[in-house]
Structure 1
Amino acid sequence: MKYNLRYLLLAFLSLTCFTANAQQKPLAQLQQQFVDLRFGMFIHFNIPTYMNQDWADPEAKPNIFNPTKLDCDQWAKAAKSANMTYGCLTTKHHSGFCIWDTKTTDYNVMNSPYKKDVVRQFVDAFRKNGLKVMLYYSILDTHHKLRPNSITPADIKMIKGQLTELLTNYGPIEALIIDGWDAPWSRISYDDVPFEEIYHLVKSLQPNCVMMDLNGAKYPAEGMYYTDIKTYEMGAGQRVSKETNTMPSLACLPIQKSWFWKNTFPTEPTKDPFKLVNDDIVPLNNANVNFILNVAPNREGLFDDNALASLKKIGELWKNAGSEATLPLLDAPIISHNLAKHQPSNSSWSDDMNIMDFANDDDFTTSWISNTTVDKPWYEIDFKTETAFNAIAIAEEKPNISKYVLEYYHSGAWKPVFDGENAKKVKVNHFDRVTGTKVRVRILKSDHQASIAEFEVYDEKR
């Protein structure tokens, strides 16, 4: 009888998992749902809260983390007072302290005087109050020495282990916001910590969780590079166009002067609720942008009175109008290693110093530009050896190329993978996997001097 019950339980669990996987939603639907959430709460709460700094000392002792009055229900009710639809908590910031019961490191909340899982309390409180749940996680980790030029296989294993815990033990996670990855200040690249591997791990654990990198500012606004959602940290000078943006996006600001709590916060004015509503939330929502406003809990684990009052005022001024306009049909996100980066390149005659190397230097602010005398310009990457790939992207400083042919060189002949028209600023071409020693674009039509900011080649795992 025990065997039969066990068999039935395993069968039920298998059926449940199958049903969950069968309910996986298309990415376009998930992006639309994310944009439709409109407005939510970022919560920067971690060991920097106790140091009057946004970046904590990586050797800070866990014993300073002790929120004696922590009340995540207060956070959730404050979010509801502002008519927010979700909350997002900093599970681990750049100094590596984990505020959940992790098995991957001793540097966590269970070894602090508090000894309780903050992530658990957060997700339970927000769900109880009818709010969606998102999580923030930093790749940069100065305590565990996950820094530029020092990433090891053990580091990647720890990252995967921590994300697996977060996406397995806390129920449905609407979105995962990654930070400290491929940013000018973190300098940990998508190759150092392989983006494609992490992306597929996230999707295998929670297929309906949108994943975004908070540091995609170097990539063109019109292209979906290494993220499901375009992100803009407005306090760092990143701006999304309120007039022309068509991409599903996230923009963030703190309601106080910085992200983590400072001892001056209780007596300093917050940002003006009227300006936040009229200058940020409303116009950003109208441009396909979900706006997330950070509110920093104090060292007791509570929001200060002035922050609570400002959130309530926002709720009086702003109401959720429902679904946004339908997003345009988008290309699948680019998540793979760029095979063309820094490879030998060649081209037809260039315009002065804007030579071929500028189109595969991993810098979208520089371009190869064709000389005006060339009627049918071309650009080429030479891999030297047979290389497999199944996607090519062409990014331009401004849209100019409208008709082109993509070809690869194999067994002594050039063979086409695309021949047609595409006038987008970022042109993404997917096709069945091929192998070749070279790949090139022949430009048949452009409305002014043909130019390419980045010519990118990928071998995507599909």
Structure 2
Amino acid sequence: MALAAALSCAPATVRAEEPAQSGLQETPEQRDARLAWWREARFGMFIHWGPVSLKGTEIGWSRGGERRGTGGTGQIPVEVYDNLYKQFDPTKFDADEWVAIAKAAGMKYLVFTSRHHDGFSMFATKQSDYNIMNSPFKRDVVGELAQACHEGGLRFGLYYSPPDWHHPDYRTENHQRFLEYLHGQIRELLTNYGKVDVMWFDGLGGTAKDWDSPALFKRIRELQPEIIINDRAGLPADFGTPEQRIGGFQNNRPWETCMTICNQWAWKPDDQMKPLKQCLQTLIRCAGGDGNLLFNVGPMPTGEIEPRQVDRLKELGAWLQQYGESVYGTRGGPFKPATSYTSSHKGNTVYLHVFDWIGDSLELPPLPKKIVSSTVLTGGTVELRQTGEGITLSVPAADRQEIDTLIRLELDGPAGDIPPVVAATGSVAAGKDATASNIFQKMADYGPDKALDDDRGTRWATDGGTKQAWLEVDLGKPVELAYALINEWATRVQSFELQVKRGDQWETIASGATIGDSLQLDFPPVTAQVVRLNILEATEGPTIEEFQLYPPKKK
């Protein structure tokens, strides 16, 4: 993994897939039918695990030695990393328990790392001796998980890394011999373990030629005709894979956010775990953007999933037990995601998820269908007024939930017939003049105005390698301000300050460390015309989806 940090900010252009590329001849209707279960599922478990859990460092990336095709190296000497399997004996591994945990979380499918970039296979492969059967454990983890998923009613998927930094022929003059090994392993995985529902490649930006993907895909489709394949083997395939961030609204191509429950993909002692609010809102925002969430856990070297992670997953499952109708089997919209809310729909029903109330009410754009009833599913009452200009919703403060106030709206016709609509956020910065210190490749598509357009599907981006940058907005006149809402495309900012201009000087009114997916930054009321988000430190080129400024909330 870690692909988002390795590649530039710019998204790849997705073209319509040709049957010759995918290895599958099917109509759009047949394709929709094949993907139907996956789109309805919305929530899956990702598992990164291997001998590296003995060290508590990142899988693959902490391995020392050469990374042909990628560059860089890890902190564990290669002779140590590559021999960890000789100590790997996770006797408490229980595939049935993992499946039970996933189901308790409300997850509908599971994707496991059969082989990561480090080349160690967690299954009984005949293509290489570097596999789990030659460890002290001597059990086929993929086989046991496949059986547990099949018997437990959970869809089963396999992660597989085309890059293999351990293989001697990888990206050498003998690369063709490496491809025979790669294709052979895929054949084993799709032949020996019953039905496989998802093939999840992680090609680190490699091309289709690098993996001979057209031939590979053709073989995959022959072995598993109903399988779903992601977009990381050099071909668009079936779905996109934003990493460690929530994908932008997209209802014309399936997508799935992959994200960790802590910071690291593999297990790390005392790793910082995401709070329930962030976990739950991430899932809801993915559904509202018409995407899935593949949520990762990294089991411990004993073979157990860390108890605190299990508890967090069960909290998610408890919420889904009550309100899963607003996630499972829904499509995103009709209201496009905003900082303070998102929406999903099914039939004539719209589910409105409100995360933050700005003032006494929520203002939504108009809908071409009539709202015939409204209910607060999380408890309480709602007042609603619908006109040709818009919709106003109000829920008493006592009935507003800290994580998600869920309101069900019944329309007089199918919500799916409504084109997605964007709501004005009320930000006083929306549409105002903006400048920035750096713009990704000087492309207008990533200009500073994209952070002020009330649309999280666009963003201001900076060049790769940028560690400091600023975004400035001129409000046109002095305005009283009390807080900002900032959305980062990927968590890269490590230190920032919010400044207002006083003559020729800048005055800092607030500061912080990370921004992340969504940050509300409160500060004592101040009147200003020119405001700057000054990023002091970032791990990679900062990328901001929305920079919104608001006056004091009405009491």
Which interval holds the TM-score relative to the shorter structure?
Answer: 0.5 to 0.7
Match among 307, 310, 313 for residue 311 of structure 1: 313
**How many residues are matched?**
290
Identify if the C-alpha distance between structure 1 residues 324 and 53 changes in structure 2 by more than 3 Å, giving closer, same or farther: same
Render the CA deviation track for 1:31-60: whole Å, top value 9, x for unaligned. Answer: 333221100100101122223221253551
Identify if the C-alpha distance between structure 1 residues 309 and 159 changes in structure 2 by more than 3 Å, giving closer, same or farther: same
Partner of 2:220: 202
Partner of 2:277: 274
Identify if the C-alpha distance between structure 1 residues 40 and 146 changes in structure 2 by more than 3 Å, giving closer, same or farther: farther
Partner of 2:54: 50
Residue 268 of structure 2 aligns with an amino acid whose one-letter code is K
Identify if the C-alpha distance between structure 1 residues 309 and 167 changes in structure 2 by more than 3 Å, giving closer, same or farther: same
Match among 244, 247, 253 for residue 234 of structure 1: 244
Partner of 1:334: none
Identify if the C-alpha distance between structure 1 residues 131 and 292 changes in structure 2 by more than 3 Å, giving closer, same or farther: same
Residue 250 of structure 1 aligns with an amino acid whose one-letter code is E
Q: Secondary structure at the match of 2:230?
A: strand
Residue 84 of structure 1 aligns with an amino acid whose one-letter code is M
Q: Secondary structure at the match of 1:91?
A: strand
Q: Please show how residues 60-459 of structure 1 align to structure 2 within 5 Å.
A: 60-61=82-83, 62-145=85-168, 147-148=170-171, 152-181=175-204, 183=205, 188-214=206-232, 225-234=235-244, 239-242=246-249, 244-265=250-271, 268=272, 270-278=273-281, 280-318=282-320, 319-321=323-325, 322-325=328-331
Deviation, structure 1 residue 104? 0.5
Distance in 2 (alpha carbons) for counterparts of 1:92 and 1:272: 30
Match among 41, 62, 68 for residue 37 of structure 1: 41
Distance in 2 (alpha carbons) for counterparts of 1:320 and 1:40: 14
Indicate the RMSD between aligned Cα atoms, in angstroms.
2.8
Deviation, structure 1 residue 147? 4.4
Residue 50 of structure 2 aligns with an amino acid whose one-letter code is N
Deviation, structure 1 residue 29? 1.7
Render the CA deviation track for 1:38-89: whole Å, top value 9, x for unaligned. Answer: 0010010112222322125355122122112111122111111111101110
Partner of 2:31: 27
Identify if the C-alpha distance between structure 1 residues 213 and 65 changes in structure 2 by more than 3 Å, giving closer, same or farther: farther
Deviation, structure 1 residue 274? 2.3
Distance in 1 (alpha carbons) for counterparts of 2:94 and 2:159: 19
Distance in 1 (alpha carbons) for counterparts of 2:232 and 2:168: 21
By relative contact order (CA 8 Å, sep 6+), the higher-ranking structure is 1
Are the counterparts in 2 of residues 66 and 112 from structure 1 also a CA contact under 8 Å?
yes
Are the counterparts in 2 of residues 70 and 300 from structure 1 also a CA contact under 8 Å?
yes
Identify if the C-alpha distance between structure 1 residues 215 and 53 changes in structure 2 by more than 3 Å, giving closer, same or farther: farther
Residue 241 of structure 1 aligns with an amino acid whose one-letter code is G
Are the counterparts in 2 of residues 35 and 249 from structure 1 also a CA contact under 8 Å?
no
Partner of 2:412: none
Distance in 2 (alpha carbons) for counterparts of 1:49 and 1:272: 23
Distance in 1 (alpha carbons) for counterparts of 2:163 and 2:57: 17
Are the counterparts in 2 of residues 215 and 231 from structure 1 also a CA contact under 8 Å?
no
The TM-score with structure 2 as length reference comes to 0.49
Q: Secondary structure at the match of 1:303?
A: coil
Distance in 2 (alpha carbons) for counterparts of 1:161 and 1:311: 36
| Identical residues among aligned pairs (%) | 29
Distance in 2 (alpha carbons) for counterparts of 1:190 and 1:151: 18
Identify if the C-alpha distance between structure 1 residues 64 and 227 changes in structure 2 by more than 3 Å, giving closer, same or farther: farther
Distance in 1 (alpha carbons) for counterparts of 2:92 and 2:228: 32
Render the CA deviation track for 1:134-155: whole Å, top value 9, x for unaligned. Answer: 1000011011146445561111
